[in-house]
Structures are given as structure tokens and as C-alpha cells.
Amino acid sequence: MSAEVLPYTVKPHPVTGLYNGKFGIWLFLASEVMLFGALFSTYVFLRMGAPETGPTAWPTGEETHLNWMLGGLNTLILILSSVTMVLAWVQFKMDNFAKGRIYLIITAILAIAFVAIKFKFEYAHKFHMDIYPKTSVFFAIYYTMTGLHAIHIIGGVVVICYFIGPGAKLWEENREYYTNRIECTGLYWHFVDLVWIFLFPILYLL
């Protein structure tokens, strides 16, 4: 139960080179790959099966009403937030708590900006145009995948905010442990970013 009893909670295992948390987050990301992989497969399956013409044909370009500029902006925001996440970790690694924390705050703000653009401009615009998940299979998959992705972003923001706020106490107790946790959060964050980098082209551009 207590940290000192369990081996490798902070220090890496000599063979695997990973501490438990990092190993765990990699495994978790593997399952996330399968989750989003299944949804991407669904996208492919439905798109391949869609007829050329008719009411259930796959919408192209303008028919999707998706603004690639907004999507592109969001892509940039997320990539930037990934960079600041890495910078935060580097600062913690260099024992520079104040700077690291500022980078964490920037990451959280960027993430919130992403969600705001997603909800305020994209979803709201579409609801205004009477486009809902049930409108067509394309929008069903659009809302499901971006929605699930947004939930992941929000989850990430909550974790980052935790480490900015109450979680920061750990820094006083065990700096390495805290930095490790930031590293794990970072891994998750890069994954979420990566999912968006796949989502953006298949929904907005293709």
C-alpha cells in the first residue's frame, strides 16, 4: 500500500527501463489506440459501403459544412500545447518548478481554447444549421469521434489543472515522483494530440 513497499513506483525497473506509472500509461495508450482504431475502422467501413449517389451517399467538400480553417487552427493549437507540455516537463526535470508550472498553465489554456472553438464555433454553428448526429452517417461519425476526442481533451485538462493546483503538493514531498507524473500526463496528451492529427484530415479534408 505505501509507496516504499512497492518497488519501481518512482525509479525505473532495471530490465524494462520504465517505472510502473510509465509502463501503465503506455499500456493504457495501447488500449486507447484500439478504441480509436475501432472508430477509424468504422469510418472506413461506412465510407466504403456508402453508395455513389442517393440520400445516403458520403458528403463531399462543401456538403459537410466543415470549416477546414477552424479545424486547422485547432490542429495548430493542439500541436502548440504538446510543445508546451514537453517544455513543462523539461523545466520540472531541471528542478525549475515555477517555470514548469507556467508552461502547464499555458497548456491548459490552449486546451480550453481548443474545446471552446470546437463547441462555440463548430458544434454551435452546425446545430444552428439543423445538423445533428442523426442527420447523416457522416455527421454521426463526425460528432461521435470529435465528441469522444473532446471528452479526452477535457479529461486531460482536468488532470493538468490538478497538477497545477492541489497536485503540486507532491512536488514538495517527492520531486521525481511529481515529474514522472507530469511525464505520464504528457504521454497521454501527445496521444490525444495525435488522434486529432488523424481526425482532422479524414473529417475536414478527405
Partner 1 sequence: MSGDHHHEPGFIRKYVFSVDHKVIGVQYGVTALCFLFLGFSLMMLMRWQLAYPGEEMPFIGNIFGEDAMPGGVMLPEFYNSLGAMHGTIMIFLGVVPLLVGAFGNYVMPLQIGAPDMAFPKLNMASYWVYLLGGIVMLCSFFVPGGAANSGWTSYPPLSNIATTGQTWWLFGMVCLITSSLLGSVNFIVTIIQLRVEGLTMFRLPYFVWAQLITSFLLLLAFPPLEAAGVLQLMDRLAGTSFFMPEGLVVSGVVQTQMSGGGSPLLWQHLFWFLAHPEVYVLILPAMGIVAEIIANNTRKPLWGYRAMIYSTIFLGFMSFIVWAHHMFMTGMGTKISAFFATTTMIISIPSVVILTALVISLYQGAIRFTVPMLFALAFLPMFAIGGLTGLPLGLPASDIHLHDTYYVIGHFHYVVAPGTIFAIFAGIYHWYPKVTGRTLNNALGYMHFFLSFVFINMVFMPMFWQGMAGVSRRLYDQTVYAHGDAVQSLTIMSSWGAWMLGLAQIPFIINFFISAVAGKKVSNNPWDATTLEWLAPSPPPHGNFETVPVVYRGPYEYSVPGASEDFHPQHVTTEA
Q: Which residues bind partner 1 (CB under 8 A)?
A: 1-9, 13, 16, 18, 20, 23-24, 27-28, 30-32, 34-39, 41-42, 45-46, 49-50, 55-56, 132-137, 140-141, 143-144, 148, 170, 173-174
Q: How far is the CB of 110 from partner 1 (least distance, A)?
A: 26
Q: How far is the CB of 24 from partner 1 (least distance, A)?
A: 5
Identity of the residue, 42 or 86, whose beta carbon is nearer to partner 1 in the bound complex: 42
Q: How far is the CB of 156 from partner 1 (least distance, A)?
A: 17
CA angle 146, 149, 152 (to 5 degrees): 155
Q: CA dihedral in degrees (199, 203, 205, 206; nearest 10)?
A: 110
Identity of the residue, 110 or 149, whose beta carbon is nearer to partner 1 in the bound complex: 149
Q: Which of 147, 82, 83, 155 is nearest to 118 (CA)?
A: 147
Identity of the residue, 96 or 135, whose beta carbon is nearer to partner 1 in the bound complex: 135
Q: How far is the CB of 70 from partner 1 (least distance, A)?
A: 23
Identity of the residue, 1 or 69, whose beta carbon is nearer to partner 1 in the bound complex: 1
Q: How far is the CB of 4 from partner 1 (least distance, A)?
A: 6
Q: How far apart are CA 114 and CA 22, in angstroms?
A: 26
Burial class, 77, CB count within 10 angstroms (exposed 0-12 / middle 13-18 / buried 19+): buried
Residues 6+ apart with CB under 8 A from 118: 74, 146, 150
Identity of the residue, 32 or 97, whose beta carbon is nearer to partner 1 in the bound complex: 32
